[in-house]
Amino acid sequence: GLKLVTDALNGGWQVHVMVFARNMASSPAIQAAAARARAQGALILEASEKVLSTISRRDNPQMVIGVFGQRWLKPHAVRPQPGDLWIALDRVRDPGNLGTIIRTADCAGAKGIILVGETTDPWSIEAVRATMGSLFHMPVARMGVEAFLQWRKGWPGMVVGTHLEGAVDYRSVDYSGKPVLLLMGNEQQGLPPTLAESCDRLCLIPMAGQADSLNLAVATGIMMFEIRRHALHMKDGSA
């Protein structure tokens, strides 16, 4: 869509191809985006709505589609400061979950995402769509399990995971004043023992109904906003 393409251009992302609907060629906003993309050397194409629908896999496609280069953050470039929150995700399978987590991390003011092991592709159509543009603002790193465990030894703050056994109420932990790495297991199995043992604290989100588990993106969102609660304030004039 035009908003996501514009967000990416504003963030300095390298655009390779921009495709827009032929019947929108006279739109000033699309003309402006196309001019910026052309200035980067991108291929600019007009297409029918049918072609856009095929590319986007949607019956009612957006009128603009952009193809951008991927960005991966190197693990050594992660330099946490006091109060920072980073999210580490173990073998996430569902692209919708991953995209939603990236979007929620952006909303919560997290500094970045670390993908551990064989995870779904954050650059897939489903994941990118679920981020609603937050992928262009949220650094993403990746590493294998062994590399992560080695890297984790240098983490200067607290590593927090969610787990059903040996856990404390997530609301009882003091997360303030230190960098926090939130480590979440995958949808089916949760945190494996090797990763659970690497945590300084294991937390539990209490539940009262008949369901015995939360969706991964929901659980991660609950944890993120609790960890960041001390740093989040209502803007003046907000209700």
- Determine the average pLDDT of the residues in 135-142: 95
pLDDT for residue 7: 87
Tell me which residue range forms the domain holding 6. 2-68
pLDDT for residue 182: 99
**What's the number of domains the chain is made of?**
2
* pLDDT per residue as tens digits for the range 158-186: 999 998 877 899 999 999 989 999 999 99
**Assigned domain for 237 exists:** no
Specify whether 64 is located in the same domain as 125.
Answer: no
What tokens appear for 126 in the block? 């489903």
pLDDT for residue 125: 86
pLDDT for residue 2: 85
Q: In whole angstroms, what is the distance from residue 199 CA to residue 183 CA?
A: 8
pLDDT for residue 26: 85
195-198, Cβ contacts within 8 angstroms, sequence gap of 24 or more? 195/90, 195/116, 195/145, 195/148, 195/149, 195/161, 196/161, 196/163, 198/149, 198/152, 198/159
Specify whether 199 is located in the same domain as 93.
Answer: yes
Specify whether 115 is located in the same domain as 92.
Answer: yes
Last residue of a domain, one of 26, 53, 68: 68
Specify whether 115 is located in the same domain as 136.
Answer: yes
Q: Is the pLDDT of residue 70 over 60?
A: yes
**Which of the four pLDDT bands, split at 50, 70 and 90, describes residue 23?**
confident
Specify whether 88 is located in the same domain as 12.
Answer: no
Q: Is the pLDDT of residue 237 over 50?
A: no
Q: Is the pLDDT of residue 238 over 50?
A: no
In contact, 17 and 5? CB cutoff 8 Å: no
CATH of the domain at 129: 3.40.1280.10
Q: Is the pTM of this model over 0.95?
A: no
CATH of the domain at 35: 3.30.1330.30
Specify whether 63 is located in the same domain as 79.
Answer: no
In contact, 110 and 137? CB cutoff 8 Å: no
pLDDT for residue 235: 62
Specify whether 120 is located in the same domain as 224.
Answer: yes
**Assigned domain for 40 exists:** yes
pLDDT for residue 119: 95
